[in-house]
Amino acid sequence: MNNEELLSFARETLDIEISEAHRMRDRLDGSIATACYLILACKGKVIVAGIGKSGHIGKKIAASLASTGTPAFFVHPTEALHGDLGMIDTHDVVVFISYSGHARELDILLPLLGESQIPVIALTGNLSSPLAKAASCVLNICVEREACPMGLVPTSSAVNTLMMGDALTMTLMRQRGFGPEQFARSHPAGNLGIKLLNRVYHVMRRGNQIPRITINGTVMDAMFELSRTGLGLTAVCSPTDCVIGVFTDGDLRRWLVKGLELTAPIIEAMTIPGYRFLPDWRASAALEAMHQQKITSAPVINLKGNLIGAINMHDLHQAGLE
């Protein structure tokens, strides 16, 4: 078998799966809306269940639902028959995935769910199966042909199952108005979570790590403070700790190049007013502002203008921002 034959077989697999996905799209009807309404009205959680390949896909669907605003988790039907059924409450909705719609576990579970009047959404390819007949809503995932040469391995049907789960999840996500901020809160360690959730107060320096001198100080005082903290600037404050301006490494270099005295009052050498941040700014916005202003550090003030922290670009990069 040569490379061209291998490539041909691979393309044939994709062509078959794409064709079956198109058929599913074309026959999609109001059942998807019914499924959405059932889940939106649910006061509990969405319980996704499935066996074999359907179970693996069910875990992904449950995870996608949970991360996009619909509380959900996966329960294995066999485990449900040995105690995990207690995890399913009358306020829940069950999404059961079975392409054939036939399984020993189904024969036991479906009557129990029916007795408790728990809505069942079926993802199945057999509309005359026990699962389809017992379900409150059926999402048809049937295929005319599996991509498997023997027609045995779940391929096209597995893709359809995954795609139907995604269609349901994304429709619910839009209906709930689930946006980037909510997504970030369910993915706090991801890039979006770091970008949207981190605030200046999360990463700013505090206490004796804040470089500061009073307006009555000298250039030498500021130089010592720059050296002590290594932040690249020191805040210059009033006696009541309000930030009047800043003195940076750049200010010091320019002062020394001019050959001016280090004993001179800081007010003669400082930058007024200097750039500063509020603590509840998004850290990503602070980093963007630093790039725009061509600065590497800044003091952090409260609404009264008092110094409460300091931040530099290195701190932001260490927090995972780029």
Determine the pLDDT at residue 230. Answer: 85
Q: Which of 66-70, 209-213, 283-287 is the least confident region?
A: 283-287
Is the model's pLDDT at 195 over the cut of 70? no
Q: What is the pLDDT of residues 71-90, one digit of tens each?
A: 999 999 989 888 888 889 99
Distances (CA, A) of 120 to 48, 90, 123, 280: 10, 11, 10, 45
Tokens of 161: 């199952």
Determine the pLDDT at residue 190. Answer: 59
Mean pLDDT confidence for 13-33: 96
Q: Residue 317: which pLDDT band, with cuts at 50, 70 and 90?
A: confident
Is the model's pLDDT at 167 over the cut of 70? yes
Q: Model's pTM, two decimal places?
A: 0.72
Does residue 191 lie in a domain region? no
Judge whether 76 is annotated as a binding position: yes
Does residue 154 lie in a domain region? yes
Does residue 266 lie in a domain region? yes
Q: Residue 194: which pLDDT band, with cuts at 50, 70 and 90?
A: low
Q: What is the pLDDT of residues 134-155, one digit of tens each?
A: 999 999 999 999 999 998 899 9
Does residue 61 lie in a domain region? yes
Rounded percentage of the chain residues whose pLDDT exceeds 70? 96
Determine the pLDDT at residue 322. Answer: 73
Does residue 63 lie in a domain region? yes
Q: Are residues 293 and 151 in the same domain?
A: no
CA 69/CA 187 separation, integer angstroms: 12
Q: What is the pLDDT of residues 99-130, one digit of tens each?
A: 999 988 888 999 999 999 999 999 999 999 99
Q: Are residues 165 and 244 in the same domain?
A: no
Q: Which of 30, 158, 168, 204 is nearest to 95 (CA)?
A: 168
Q: Are residues 41 and 132 in the same domain?
A: yes
Determine the pLDDT at residue 191. Answer: 62
CA 286/CA 279 separation, integer angstroms: 10
Q: Are residues 138 and 48 in the same domain?
A: yes
String of DSSP letters for 56-122: HHHHHHHHHHHTTT--EEE--HHHHTTTGGGG--TT-EEEEE-SS---HHHHHHHHHHHHTT--EEE
Q: Are residues 257 and 171 in the same domain?
A: no
Here the CATH number for the domain that contains residue 100 is 3.40.50.10490
Q: Which structural domain range is residue 285 located in?
A: 200-318
Tokens of 261: 């005295």
Is the model's pLDDT at 274 over the cut of 70? yes
Is the model's pLDDT at 160 over the cut of 70? yes
Q: Are residues 223 and 285 in the same domain?
A: yes
Q: Are residues 173 and 87 in the same domain?
A: yes
Of 144, 178, 212, the residue at which a domain comes to its end is: 178
Does residue 194 lie in a domain region? no
Higher pLDDT, 47 or 207: 47
Q: Are residues 173 and 229 in the same domain?
A: no
The amino acid that residue 307 corresponds to is L
Determine the pLDDT at residue 184. Answer: 64
Is the model's pLDDT at 189 over the cut of 60? no
Determine the pLDDT at residue 281. Answer: 85
Does residue 122 lie in a domain region? yes
Here the CATH number for the domain that contains residue 216 is 3.10.580.10
Mean pLDDT confidence for 27-34: 96
Q: Residue 24: which pLDDT band, with cuts at 50, 70 and 90?
A: very high
Q: Are residues 217 and 256 in the same domain?
A: yes
Q: Are residues 140 and 13 in the same domain?
A: yes
Q: Are residues 100 and 235 in the same domain?
A: no
Higher pLDDT, 321 or 148: 148
**Terminal Cα-to-Cα distance of the chain (whole angstroms):** 48
Does residue 216 lie in a domain region? yes
How many domains does the chain divide into? 2
Q: Are residues 129 and 225 in the same domain?
A: no
